[in-house]
Structure 1
Amino acid sequence: MESQAPRDKNVHIDDSAALEQLGHKQELKRNFSKISLLGLAFAILNTWTALSASISLALPSGGPSSVIWGLMVAGICNLCLAAPLAEMLSAYPTAGGQYHWAALLAWPKWSRGISYVTGWINAAGYVVLTATAPLLGSTFVTDAITFMHPSYKAQAWHQFLIYLAFTLIALVINAFATRLLPLFNKAAFLWSISGFIIISITVLACAAPDYQSGAFVYGKFINEVGWPDGLAWMLGLLQGAFALTGFDAAAHMIEEIPNARVEGPRIMIWCILIGMASGFIFLSCLLFVVKDVQNVIESPAGALLQMYFDATNSKAGSICLLVFSIVCMVFTATAIMTTSARMVSKYLLNLSLQLSSCSFPCVVFLLTLFAQTYSFSRDRGLPFSHIWSKVHPTLDVPLNALFWTTGWVIVFGLILLGSSSAFNAITAASVVALGVTYAIPPAIHLLRGGNLLPEDRPFKLSTPVRWVCSLVGIAWAILTTVLFVFPPELPVTPTNMNYCIAAFGVILFLSVGTWIFDGRKHYKGPLIQMSMDGATLEGASMAETTCTSNVEDDMKSHKPE
């Protein structure tokens, strides 16, 4: 992999002009530096925190060997997915990300349909992923209470109220402290890295010299899930896959960072590398200080607190270490909501300007089927989707999209009151959904020869590297999609059944169904906006100009590699 970033520090890329060439006006201010955007991307991954929250699921399914090496396998495969996506980001730096690239690269006949379905799945994945941070944060809090007061029995409504608090904090920060978001994301990055370092040093120092052997940490295999050993180990990979999901955040925030074509791809790659390194060290430290792995797996207060207690032999000390993870979940909830709102706003804006009215009610976006159906008009006379896409003139944020996202996160929390299995299925479906959208643009690119990107992109892969990375990444996306729908253990019961396939099936069914009945007639692809002599042409007059035709012309103007 080679980066062809400009070496001259005085070279300045006119980001607004580059964005305008792709058919979009600059609407959001470029407030994010590369450090603050790296902080946001890493806050979404927050790899070591996600690993600490899910380690109790991976330990019975492969043991320490699956926990450690599963993360490395997931990291390498995610890097293979991220590399071609970073190249596309460098060529086409728009917040639409995957659904935009899919439209740009796909065959003209299929471009609109692929873009439409990819946009649904990606936006749905991010909206649902927004619910995972409040879930993990509320779980940490209830685990801490259980740890300090063993007689306490956590109730679903207790966790829901804590879940709601995390969600509302994220909303307030995103809506009313937008100018502080870059600083907030820098703080998130520093807090997460500091927490990782402090916890790693503390547990090793407190447990010395009573450590587990290297053979245990890096080679111990455990299978308590009933599946064959090979499959059990592979199911343990899902912990690493979950911990590294969301690296495309750099793409969805790219219109708010200067020098986007250069810095965006770097951030996408670096957040995975930092996640892999911090996760490997953190997991190694935890496993070295474990006293009895069975106690960790069965602990009523959760595996993480039990590991901290094994190391420190202090309940107060264990809670102090847990505070780092709880605060990280505040940062993560805020960061995912930031990205989700941009993704939803961008996608709904494209739909609102390009879907015309029809007799069959069309659902603009996943899950709005339950509450809202929209009629679309070329003259922008749209009831709701146009509202979600607005950027607030004073706050400089897509405020309505934030409220829209928050509303659905609260709805998902209400599902938690009724069934934790249903809620877990929805959150697992978010990881599957994002993984699928990561694979779609590289797959299309390979099928079309793999040489469609313009030569002037700053981040460039050699042809062999592009093919290898894309093939490995696509295979990984297929594998994790299959593994995420497996029940976690045998025998399968209604309680432990994995309903992820049903949740993702709903996403896929609605996205394809609405395309067949409505989108194929009216959706024109990513929004086209062009400035001409200071005037902006958009809406009905531009609806006849599809993204595909512009891209085909653009591709013809570039000599293939």
Structure 2
Amino acid sequence: MEKHGPGYQPGTTVEVTDATDDDAYLEQMGYKQEFRRDFTFLGLFSLVSSELAVLPGVAGTIWYTMGYMGLIGMTWGWLVAAVMGQFLVYSLAELSSAYPTSGGLYYWAYMTASPRWRMLSCYVVAWSMIISTPLACVSITYSAAQLLVATVQVGLPDYEPASWHIYLVYLAMMFASYLVICLPTRYVSWFNIWAYFIGTIVLIIVTILLPIKADHLNSAKDIFTKGENQIAWPAGWSFCMTFLSATWTLSGYDVAAHVAEETHNAAITVPRAMVWSTWSSAFLGFVYLISLALCATDIDSLMANPLGQPVGTLMADVLGTKGGIALMTINAFTQFACGVAFFVAASRIFFAYSRDKALPFSDWLSRVSPRTQTPNNASLVVFILSAAFGVISVGSDTAFEAFFSGSTLAGQIGYILPVLGRCLYENNPEYRNGPYNLGRYSRAIRWTAVAWNAFIMPLVSL
């Protein structure tokens, strides 16, 4: 990898003088403008929110909250992790304002580390992200396929899907994602705005409707005070494991950084989109989980359901089969939109690394389509790799899931190293704040983010 980019001059320090002069600022960082800046704040906020995907995210991680500590896992477990995770969001948002480039995390890792460690930090972060982001795209889209197949099972109870049925649905979804992100940026933006709008409206309706339609409810006191350890581990450790739901759902917000070169006024728009989307998703997720906790009067039955989808079963029980099918279908769509957002991030990561000559066939991978002004060659490679990884699920679900446990840990490493570098090399003479910065609170927020991440990483490993 070259020092800061193809055009960087040694000794140059990057300082924002006019945050709206995106192209000149990018040139200061050593890169030329190749994309069309069609992402506005609304489009970028929607892209990040689609990637966070609260509606399917809660459903897909209910095993950690309800499955470990019952009702208090669904309420306090989510709330604690969602609030503590914001320290890392703020820390990365500050860096995204200082260095708004598609390289994102690995560029920040280089710029924030001391001269002795910057190459190693950059290398580790680069490989962490190139492992975690494409695999997250695979995992999320595969979950959407599973959810769609489970929806069919609700309507056709005698249908028993084979693993290759799910793979074919997954492959169709991945191909649809590929077609979407090869469109010009403005269409990708519109897709995510509509996906976010649909998902949020349905989430609000479901949150209100479930307690109204349910025959029996838990008391408000119970959902905040009643916890039942569902496994053989100590209760305190089981409660800590509930943090993984919010940690997993409220991640991937770095997609905003990876499309910085496609965003107008990126030094301000990117960090604001990261912070606003994570806070709004944290709030919506908490309210949604309160609604689910009120209705979850028989946790053992929900966890033992044959569909493997406790939230889907709960919706079908409360709203009837047709209502459950409708909501599960929308869940699958919002999960698909989440996969599209991760696909966008993965393609831009492959493009950025190739631009810095860090991958094989870099000249071909870093080409930008003159017609759409998007990195379609990089997108094609992500699609091919995703299709290949999906085949593993046909042979072994256990092996398939093992890849994604590792990818989650890799993502956490990629997130924290740039922040750690900033903490340990506080007097970095080359670092300059962007227009969005934390001021005097920056150091305390960054160190809190490092401490929380150090606590979370062993949990992710389990």
Q: 1:454, CA displacement in angstroms?
A: 5.1
2:450 corresponds in structure 1 to 474
Indicate which of 263, 269, 272 corresponds to 2:278: 272
Indicate which of 323, 341, 345 corresponds to 1:317: 323
Alignment of 1:35-114 (within 5 A): 35-114=42-121
- Residues 451 and 78 from structure 1, CA distance in 2 versus in 1: closer, same or farther, beyond 3 angstroms? farther
Q: Paired residues, what number?
A: 445
Q: What code does the residue aligned with 2:24 have?
A: A
Alignment of 1:94-173 (within 5 A): 94-173=101-180
Does 1:326 find its partner at 2:302? no
Bigger mean CA offset, 34-43 vs 106-115: 106-115
Q: 1:142, CA displacement in angstroms?
A: 2.1
Equivalent residues of 1:13, 1:259 under 8 A apart: yes
Unpaired runs of at least 5, structure 2? 1-15
Q: 1:228, CA displacement in angstroms?
A: 1.4
Unpaired runs of at least 5, structure 1? 1-5, 353-363, 365-373, 375-383, 487-561
Deviation per CA, 1:158-192: give whole Å up to 9, x if none.
11111111111101111245441111111122112
Q: 1:149, CA displacement in angstroms?
A: 3.0
TM-score, reference length from structure 2: 0.92
Does 1:285 find its partner at 2:284? no
- Residues 287 and 438 from structure 1, CA distance in 2 versus in 1: closer, same or farther, beyond 3 angstroms? same
1:519 corresponds in structure 2 to none
Q: 1:196, CA displacement in angstroms?
A: 0.7
Does 1:444 find its partner at 2:407? no
Bigger mean CA offset, 33-42 vs 117-126: 117-126
Alignment of 1:32-431 (within 5 A): 32-176=39-183, 178-207=185-214, 210-301=216-307, 302-312=309-319, 314-352=320-358, 364=359, 374=360, 384-431=361-408
Deviation per CA, 1:98-130: give whole Å up to 9, x if none.
110111122223222221221111122111111
Q: 1:57, CA displacement in angstroms?
A: 4.1
Equivalent residues of 1:450, 1:467 under 8 A apart: no
Deviation per CA, 1:136-160: give whole Å up to 9, x if none.
1111122222323333322111111
Equivalent residues of 2:148, 2:329 under 8 A apart: no
Q: What code does the residue aligned with 1:319 have?
A: I
Q: What code does the residue aligned with 2:449 have?
A: G
Equivalent residues of 1:169, 1:330 under 8 A apart: no
> Match of 1:458, SS?
coil
Deviation per CA, 1:294-347: give whole Å up to 9, x if none.
1111111220122113322x1111111112211102211211111110111101
- Residues 295 and 225 from structure 1, CA distance in 2 versus in 1: closer, same or farther, beyond 3 angstroms? same
2:6 corresponds in structure 1 to none
Deviation per CA, 1:450-472: give whole Å up to 9, x if none.
66575562112133x22222122
**1 CA distance for matches of 2:420 and 2:64?**
31
Equivalent residues of 1:105, 1:444 under 8 A apart: yes
- Residues 41 and 423 from structure 1, CA distance in 2 versus in 1: closer, same or farther, beyond 3 angstroms? same
Does 1:433 find its partner at 2:410? yes
Q: Which has the higher helix share?
A: 2
Equivalent residues of 1:211, 1:289 under 8 A apart: yes
1:555 corresponds in structure 2 to none
> Match of 2:363, SS?
helix
Q: 1:478, CA displacement in angstroms?
A: 2.0
Bigger mean CA offset, 173-182 vs 85-94: 173-182
**1 CA distance for matches of 2:164 and 2:415?**
35
Bigger mean CA offset, 62-71 vs 281-290: 62-71
Equivalent residues of 1:445, 1:452 under 8 A apart: no
Equivalent residues of 1:390, 1:398 under 8 A apart: yes
Q: What code does the residue aligned with 1:403 have?
A: L
**2 CA distance for matches of 1:339 and 1:143?**
28
**2 CA distance for matches of 1:176 and 1:84?**
32
Equivalent residues of 1:58, 1:66 under 8 A apart: yes
Equivalent residues of 2:39, 2:186 under 8 A apart: no
Deviation per CA, 1:198-244: give whole Å up to 9, x if none.
21122122226x32111332222222222111111111211111111
- Residues 467 and 177 from structure 1, CA distance in 2 versus in 1: closer, same or farther, beyond 3 angstroms? closer
Between the aligned residues of both structures, percent identity stands at 27
**2 CA distance for matches of 1:311 and 1:450?**
58
Equivalent residues of 1:87, 1:459 under 8 A apart: yes
Q: 1:291, CA displacement in angstroms?
A: 3.2
Bigger mean CA offset, 139-148 vs 25-34: 139-148
**2 CA distance for matches of 1:453 and 1:462?**
17
**1 CA distance for matches of 2:121 and 2:342?**
25
> Match of 1:351, SS?
coil
> Match of 1:65, SS?
helix
**2 CA distance for matches of 1:223 and 1:153?**
32
**1 CA distance for matches of 2:355 and 2:279?**
33
Q: What code does the residue aligned with 1:215 have?
A: K
1:20 corresponds in structure 2 to 27
Q: What code does the residue aligned with 1:29 have?
A: R
Deviation per CA, 1:248-296: give whole Å up to 9, x if none.
1111111111111111111111111011011001111112122311111
Say which one has the larger Rg.
1
Bigger mean CA offset, 67-76 vs 167-176: 67-76
